[in-house]
Amino acid sequence: MLKEENDTLERTMVDPMFRADVLNGLAARPRAIQARWFYDHRGSQLFEQITDLPEYYPTRTEAALLDKAGPQVLEIAGAGRAVVEFGSGSSAKTPRVLSAIKPSAYVPIDISGDFLRESARELSRQFPDLPVHPVEANFLHPVPLPDQVATLPKLGFFPGSTIGNMTAAAAVDLLRAMRHSLGEGAHLLIGIDRVKDPAVLVPAYDDSQGVTAAFNMNLLERINRELDGTIPIENFRHKAVWNAAIERIEMHLEAVRDSEFTVEGRSFSIRQGETIHTENSHKYTPSGARLLLRSGGWTPVAEWTDPDDKFALLLAEA
């Protein structure tokens, strides 16, 4: 598809929630736009590239932990479960879990139906004997699971430290919703990134090749493309900072000079040095991660970390 055609297509399919979040977020003080809007087609491609960056340790560290933990998860949770993956996306980590856990069914849940069906088809090719029941839903709320898995014990799977992109309060609500969706006797296998030296954390969100910067800046490009914006992209720069008090990495778009622009005909101005806050990535200490799970109604039963304790995989029971 030609770029112009793609731009036209994206403009005609604007999500009203995107429009509302951007207009409200630019008018608010401090300015903030939700990180969920990073993931248009280009943003999803850039995120895939981030996961391969030398500085971005979470993806490869978690993959190694999943290989290590698989047999023990099977021992603790037992075979024959329905594996329910929340926000399955491309299901990139799923084969690791499915081969180790010997499930009776796989239920990927994602808000993006097209993506979901395509990755479900791909998984069925890799695991031809495994029943796959995709569910298109927003997993932030309790999700009714398909009848076919009603009688099976469940193993929830939530990798990637995606939970870190929420405030602790929202994370607790989500864990409770998951417990509700999965029911009594369920287990949850979850990846949670650790608090660590900012000298490791900051480069993971401000890499030397500038991929994370492009990922962040793509949000401005998306606003210009989809919401008829006139944001002068070159007047902004990517900024990643460690907020020690709240134990989170924050991503911002910082104005490098005073700027004025319009979005959907509304005028905005931003002074040099002011920022638009675009993402939080909360990190947890060992006890903080366990407390988070307990607050969400889950009892931690096992935990795996890499030798440098960069990232943790936790198994909890309902």
Footprint of ligand AVI on this chain (CB under 6 A)?
Answer: 50, 58, 160-162, 164-165, 205, 212, 279, 281
Q: In the complex, which residue's CB is closest to ligand AVI?
A: 281
What distance in Å separates the CA atoms of residue 259 and residue 265, rounded to the nearest whole number?
16
Which of 25, 103 has the CB closer to ligand AVI?
25
Between 55 and 274, whose beta carbon lies closer to ligand AVI? 55
C-beta separation of 100 from 71 below 8 A:
yes
Q: Closest by alpha carbon to 264, among 9, 26, 85?
A: 26
157: Cα separation from own chain's centroid? 13
Q: Do 71 and 98 contact (CB within 8 A), yes or no?
A: no
Nearer to ligand AVI, 88 or 281 (CB): 281
Of 58 and 103, nearer to ligand AVI (C-beta) is: 58
Kindly state the DSSP code that residue 194 receives in the 8-state scheme.
B
Q: In angstroms, what is the minimal distance from the CB of 78 to ligand AVI?
A: 29
Q: CA-to-CA distance for 141 and 49, rounded, in angstroms?
A: 29
Q: Of 226 and 250, which CB lies nearer to ligand AVI in the complex structure?
A: 250
Of 106 and 205, nearer to ligand AVI (C-beta) is 205
Q: How far apart are CA 47 and CA 49, in angstroms?
A: 5
Distance of closest approach, residue 133 Cβ to ligand AVI, in angstroms: 25
CB of 39 to ligand AVI, least distance (A): 9
The distance of closest approach from Cβ of residue 205 to ligand AVI in the complex, given in angstroms and rounded to an integer, is 5
Distances (CA, A) of 268 to 28, 97, 128, 260, 272: 11, 47, 53, 6, 13
Taking the complex as a whole, the smallest distance from the CB of residue 306 to ligand AVI amounts, in Å, to: 16
Beta strands in the chain (DSSP E): 31-32, 82-86, 105-110, 135-136, 154-158, 187-193, 236-243, 248-255, 259-263, 266-270, 275-282, 299-305, 311-317
Closer residue to ligand AVI (CB): 162 or 218: 162
Q: How far is the CB of 148 from ligand AVI (least distance, A)?
A: 30
Which of these, 47, 76, 67, 51, lies nearest to 300 by C-alpha position? Answer: 76
> Judged by CB, which is closer to ligand AVI: 149, or 172?
172
Reading the block at residue 60, the tokens are 């490869």
Q: What is the nearest approach in angstroms of ligand AVI to the Cβ of residue 65? A: 15
CB of 212 to ligand AVI, least distance (A): 5
Whether the Cβ atoms of residue 219 and residue 43 lie closer than 8 Å to each other = yes
